[in-house]
């Protein structure tokens, strides 16, 4: 319904409601997302709403940073019990930033869009690679960022592109990012395949129902509800 929720809501719900270790929730959600994003990319590509130049620029930054982040996580030992509190704080802070981004997206775009409207193609490409680098770290650690934060940033960098093309490019970029990060988490032992299978089974009817409801729902209503939900979950993780 909103284009956001895979990582932003899934991961904290797995931690808070079902008691999964944050690293397991993140790793499982990433590998799960790589499957669902592949389907979404195929649909967007068929509708020609993917800008592959943007996808490549994002991947040039995100793939190396994701690999480096997973390596650091494997050395630190994120599955240890003492690491759960740190991961919860990072996840909570990222969700807080995501909630703010969702709630104030129109204002943020109106403020920043004109500043990139007349920027050179080389400059915008450089900022896109830098955005990918940041998303690679955020997504690998929290599984949050590729949706709300990535889309908002791309709308600022490419204000003249249609929103559908921005969304399609963001989803396409999420495929290699979540796949690489998910495989990395699998290798360090933080993926629960039983949980992943259950999520995939539940997501199929959820995607169908959500897609039908999205055409009848107003963004002005959905965006504040989603933003408040993210902020509440963020506060819960930060004070927990």
For the segment 206-224, what is each residue's pLDDT rounded down to a tens digit?
A: 777 776 665 566 666 766 7
For Cα atoms 57, 22, 38, give the angle at the middle one, nearest 5 degrees: 40
Mean pLDDT for 151-164 is: 83
pLDDT in tens, 44-87: 888 888 999 999 999 999 999 999 999 998 888 766 666 667 77
Of the candidate ranges 11-20, 129-138, 189-198, 215-224, the one whose mean pLDDT is the lowest: 215-224
Alpha helices in the chain (DSSP H): 10-16, 22-46, 52-76, 81-103, 105-117, 121-142, 148-157, 163-187, 193-214, 219-239
User: Is the model's pLDDT at 170 over the cut of 80?
Assistant: yes
How far apart are the C-alpha atoms of 194 and 196, rounded to whole Å? 5
**What is the pLDDT of the chain when averaged over all its residues?**
82
Task: Using the CB atoms, write b or e for 48-71: b if 16+ within 10 Å.
Answer: ebbbeebbbbbbebbbebbbebbe
How far apart are the C-alpha atoms of 113 and 133, rounded to whole Å? 21
Name the residue with higher pLDDT: 120 or 194.
194
pLDDT of residue 5: 60
Mean pLDDT for 154-163 is: 84
Report percent pLDDT > 90 for the chain. Answer: 26
pLDDT of residue 54: 95
């Amino acid at each position: 319904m909103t284009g956001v929720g895979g990582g932003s809501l899934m991961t904290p719900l797995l931690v808070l409601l079902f008691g999964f270790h944050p690293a397991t929730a993140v790793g499982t959600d990433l590998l799960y997302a790589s499957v669902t994003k592949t389907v979404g990319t195929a649909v967007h590509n068929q509708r020609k709403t993917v800008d592959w130049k943007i996808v490549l620029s994002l991947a040039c930054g995100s793939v190396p940073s994701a690999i480096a982040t997973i390596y650091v996580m494997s050395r630190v030992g994120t599955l240890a019990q003492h690491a759960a509190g740190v991961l919860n704080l990072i996840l909570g802070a990222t969700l807080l930033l995501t909630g703010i981004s969702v709630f104030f997206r129109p204002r943020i775009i109106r403020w920043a869009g004109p500043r990139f409207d007349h920027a050179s193609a080389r400059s915008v490409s450089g900022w896109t690679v830098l955005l990918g680098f940041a998303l690679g770290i955020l997504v690998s650690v929290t599984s949050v960022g590729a949706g709300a934060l990535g889309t908002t940033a791309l709308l600022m960098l490419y204000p003249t592109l249609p929103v559908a093309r921005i969304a399609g490019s963001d989803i396409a970029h999420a495929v290699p990012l979540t796949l690489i990060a998910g495989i990395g988490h699998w290798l360090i032992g933080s993926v629960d395949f039983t949980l992943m299978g259950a999520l995939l089974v539940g997501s199929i009817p959820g995607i169908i129902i959500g897609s039908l409801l999205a055409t009848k729902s107003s963004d002005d209503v959905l965006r504040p509800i989603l933003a408040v939900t993210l902020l509440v979950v963020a506060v819960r993780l930060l004070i927990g």
